[in-house]
Amino acid sequence: MNRQLTSDGQLKHLLTLDGLPRATLIKILDTAESFMDVGEREVKKVPLLRGKSIFNLFFEPSTRTRTTFEIAAKRLSADVVNLNIATSSQSKGETILDTVDNLAAMHADMFVVRHAQSGAAHLIAGHVAPHISVVNAGDGRHAHPTQGLLDMFTIRRYKGAFHNLTVAIVGDVLHSRVARSQIHALTTLGVPEVRVIAPKTLLPTGVEQMGVKVFHDMQTGLRDCDVIIMLRLQNERMKGARLPSAQEYFKFYGLTLDKLALAKPDAIVMHPGPMNRGVEIDSEVADGAQSVILPQVTYGIAVRMAVMALLAGGAAA
């Protein structure tokens, strides 16, 4: 996956956290830390990307991710154009690369791409002119690197370090690009024990080769965890060949206060959103004292600012 690094190790694109060096991850987190106060200022802007054009190319609908990317870009003073392509040119038969070429001709400096197919951001990064950077904002089941980074940012803020943690990721790992990015980041940053907890129907083949321990029940899987990350269960997966019903899923894999008590008393609970209350997480937990779900969203802006600033070659604020 070296397409995202230049020959001297600088970040050119952000496509996946798989294979990114630890130092690069730390640099992004540190840069994000330096942007944390920008949102608190009266004038919430720094001029790092003034004159740069960033295109948010969303081939798949999204509210939260697109909005946070937009806010992040605007706080860096970039010009932002949002395109929801699911509803425009793609339906007219234009290929993804045609779309990209047309936008590049409008002097784009950066593409933020979300697409339902794994590898779509790689395809675009391999196609664009050398001065253009690509940020993967989620491709199929493959990767969602900025989400993975903001989760690491959150963990570091609450836990201080990574080397002494046990982290559990619970739910639909199979279909989750978020889980894959989290796993790569956690193992790269030195978390000694990363667990996945799910029924066999929601785990990818050979997931243990990504460096995780596999559990099929919450009772043993959550024991003594420092961090619990709940994954969203897509509506279409709640009933069918992989799961019999949302009710049965909640009973065995939904995070309730009872199950949370198995983890360490100071464990934090995370969720990439949007949540299905009563399916993967109980409201008492989601809104409870151990939940850091809303801070995750806030940190997401600083982390995306950091990624865009580093890609555009800018220094820290």
Q: State the residue for tokens 């992989």.
A: 242
Asked whether position 199 contacts another protein by CB under 8 A, the answer is no
Which two structure tokens, joined as six digits, stand for 124?
Answer: 């675009």
Question: Pairing state of beta strands 227-230 and 268-270?
Answer: parallel
Where in 29-58 is the site for another protein (CB under 8 A)? Answer: none
Which two structure tokens, joined as six digits, stand for 178?
Answer: 């978020």
**Of positions 8, 42, 43, 205, contacts another protein by CB under 8 A:** 205
Asked whether position 206 contacts another protein by CB under 8 A, the answer is yes
Where in 86-105 is the site for another protein (CB under 8 A)? Answer: 95-97
**Of positions 141, 232, 237, 259, contacts another protein by CB under 8 A:** 141
**Of positions 115, 156, 259, 271, contacts another protein by CB under 8 A:** 115
Asked whether position 172 contacts another protein by CB under 8 A, the answer is no
In terms of phi and psi (left: phi > 0; alpha: psi -120 to 50; beta: otherwise), the region of 19 is left
Asked whether position 273 contacts another protein by CB under 8 A, the answer is no
Question: Pairing state of beta strands 110-115 and 166-170?
Answer: unpaired
Tell me the number of residues near another protein by CB under 8 A: 27
Asked whether position 169 contacts another protein by CB under 8 A, the answer is no
Piece in contact with another protein (CB under 8 A), picked from 138-146, 217-225, 265-273, 276-284: 138-146
Least spacing, CB of residue 170 vs another protein, in Å = 18
Which positions touch another protein (CB under 8 A)?
A: 1, 3, 18, 95-97, 115, 117-120, 122-123, 126, 139-143, 177, 180, 204-207, 209-210
